[in-house]
Amino acid sequence: MSKKVIYIIAILVFGYVIYNFGKGFNNTAVVLQEDAKTTWSNVESSYQRRNDLIGNLVKTVQGAADFEKETLTDVINARAKATSVNINAGDLTPEKMAQFQQAQAGMSGALSKLLVSVERYPDLKANANFLELQSQLEGTENRINVARDRFNEGVNKYNKHIKVFPNSLLAGLFNFDEMNRYKANAGSENAPDVNFDFKNKN
């Protein structure tokens, strides 16, 4: 076998190895990226469920005589802001993530204030609709935390895949950029207290 043939075979083998490496990197990156985007959709879905429940909660509270109008207004305004901020899973920039988180944190603060105010209204504390909504909100807060954690786990897997060597050499070539994690605002690691023990209170 001539040297020329050997060189050609060597080039073909090298090209095949490079092709398979590039193909493997690209396909894995696509899968991990899409998985991370799906988990972000679950984050937004969980927050949307909370906003829907809060809308029903506001309607229930509005029926209570002399309930603080300022507190209700704060909740209504915070809910409107929270529902207006949505981010496309393919455009999770740091600025948009911060805007989303700020809106949700405002909603959490307003909700906490409303639930504390309810303590002064015995009729509300005994209202079956309110108790059911309070229970559903508690479960939704837990789902939000789980969804955020899963999103960060998915982003972490994707980011590690595109940043380790030699994958990092191909990331720019294939236009795979680092994704941003969900960074909780200060104090937001504690969900709003929606678990009141009404039975032990007058």
Compute the C-alpha angle 83/77/53, nearest 5°. 55
What is the pTM (predicted TM-score) of this model? 0.78
From first to last of its 202 residues, the chain has per-residue pLDDT tens of: 678 888 888 888 888 888 888 999 999 999 999 999 999 999 999 999 999 999 998 888 887 656 778 888 899 999 999 988 888 887 888 888 888 989 999 999 999 888 888 888 888 878 888 889 889 999 999 999 999 999 999 999 999 999 999 999 999 889 999 999 888 655 444 444 444 343 334 3
Q: Could you read off the pLDDT of 24-67 as tens digits, one per residue?
A: 999 999 999 999 999 999 999 999 999 999 999 888 888 765 67
CA of residue 126 relative to chain centroid, distance? 33
Domain ranges of the chain: 3-200
Confirm if 137 and 194 have CB atoms less than 8 A apart.
Answer: yes
Q: Return the C-alpha torsion angle 43, 41, 79, 105, nearest 10.
A: 40
| Topology, domain 3-200 | de novo design (two linked rop proteins) (1.20.1440)
